[in-house]
Amino acid sequence: MPYKLTHRSRAQEIPFPTQAAAELYAEQVAGGRSQWTISETGQSARPPAEEEQAG
């Protein structure tokens, strides 16, 4: 299933073939996982589960 990264403060989305690929890109290339949300393509971006539980 395809996934996408959506930047939290810019209008930027990047598609990926897998969730693992999106997470790896966010961590190693794009400034860290905290800057992005990961969602399935065709779904709205939502915050990671850790943030939902904390808030």
The per-residue pLDDT for 55 is: 46
What does the DSSP assignment read for 12-37? -EEEESSHHHHHHHHHHTSS-GGGEE
What predicted TM-score, i.e. pTM, was given to this entire model?
A: 0.65
Cβ–Cβ under 8 Å, residues 19 and 7: no
Both tokens of 47, joined, read: 């915050």
Could you tell me the residue ranges of all domains in the chain? 3-44
- Amino acid present at 51: E
Element of type H or E holding 54: helix 49-54
State yes or no: pLDDT of 15 exceeds 70.
yes
The per-residue pLDDT for 48 is: 55
Per-residue pLDDT tens for 17-46? Answer: 999 999 998 888 877 888 888 888 876 655
